[in-house]
Amino acid sequence: MSWSTADIPDLTGRRALVTGATSGVGYETALELLRHGADVIVAARNPEKTARAAADLTAASGGRRPEVLDLDLSDLAGVEKAADRVEGPLDLLVNNAGVMAPPYRQTADGFELQMGTNHLGHFALTARLLPRLLEAEHPRVVTVSSFMHKTVRGLSQADFRAEQSYSKWDAYGKSKLANLLFTLELDRRARAAGSNLLSAGSHPGYARTHLQTAGPQLAGRNLEARIIGGFSGLLAQSAAAGAWPSLYAATSPEVRPGSYFGPAFLGYRGVPKVARPSRTAQDPELAQRLWKWSVEATGADAF
């Protein structure tokens, strides 16, 4: 597949919400959507960072200022309040925000931080925004996963809290597996309901973002953070390139429902291409169980 951001169609009149758009892949996703004419809502939890990102995006996009939305995905009551503030049709939701490999932490609702933020927060946000999405003519939801979803072979309801045993990388992989299971189950449910909502997934490969160093910094391991940062600087592709699979999934007219995209070169870097989810991620029975657990955990449902 040959593709670049120059292939993104004119998005004038389309409205998008991108989570975690203050830096990294989310920032680059929001920037290209703005550059191609979309009205963009930047949703993130730190108001100061969100304001700075909005100013930077305005300057970099030639004066197209995004809306800002305070959103803390680790607080389900806050997710509901944020979704209630979104009015009018929403054409595109990019579930991009995430945390990677922190020391054990819990969300405001008592869930393990990675599962609670990366999956449950986005599950609840998507469900709460579904009425706005269904007001659009051709709504699309893109959920960002990771090739790390292939490192785990299963998922249980106990993983929502991980109170008995916690491995930061195992928990991260499980949260990314949940992202893909959700993506594919949302597609199945939308089609079963006769809806024209398109659900697709993406992963950025190995991209230089703050995610790799945030976990060690939270744990006070600054030397580890510097080493990881240096390693990423040598081997990883840019955050802008990491955003290409998300942008392709979000904007290409060629995207089929339930598709998943990642970088072409070994899944680590390069132009986007169709990627293959793990066998576990394609398990519809596990996806249905995850959906049930997620409804119970969040009090939100879609389709």
Contact 118, 181 (CB under 8 A): no
- Quote the domain boundaries for residue 27: 7-207+240-297
Rounded Cα–Cα distance for residues 226 and 242 (Å)? 21
Q: Determine, yes or no, domain membership for 31.
A: yes
Instruction: Take residue 21 and report the two structure tokens written for it.
Output: 């758009």
CATH number reported for the structural domain that contains residue 114 in this entry: 3.40.50.720
Angle formed at CA 237 by CA 55 and CA 95, multiple of 5 degrees: 55
Q: How many residues are listed for the chain in this entry?
A: 303
Residues classed as catalytic: 172
Contact 21, 30 (CB under 8 A): yes
Full-prediction pTM beyond 0.75? Answer: yes
Contact 52, 27 (CB under 8 A): no
Q: Determine, yes or no, domain membership for 150.
A: yes
How many domains does one find in the chain?
1
Instruction: Take residue 290 and report the two structure tokens written for it.
Output: 């995850």
Q: Determine, yes or no, domain membership for 164.
A: yes
Contact 203, 215 (CB under 8 A): no
Q: Determine, yes or no, domain membership for 84.
A: yes
Q: Determine, yes or no, domain membership for 15.
A: yes
Please give the chain's pLDDT, 303 residues, in tens.
Answer: 789 999 999 999 999 999 999 999 999 999 999 999 999 999 999 999 999 999 999 999 999 999 999 999 999 999 999 999 999 999 999 999 999 999 999 999 999 999 999 999 999 999 999 999 999 999 999 999 999 999 999 999 999 999 888 999 999 999 999 999 999 999 999 999 999 999 999 999 998 666 544 555 455 655 443 444 444 444 579 999 999 999 999 999 999 999 999 999 878 889 999 999 999 999 999 999 999 999 999 999 999
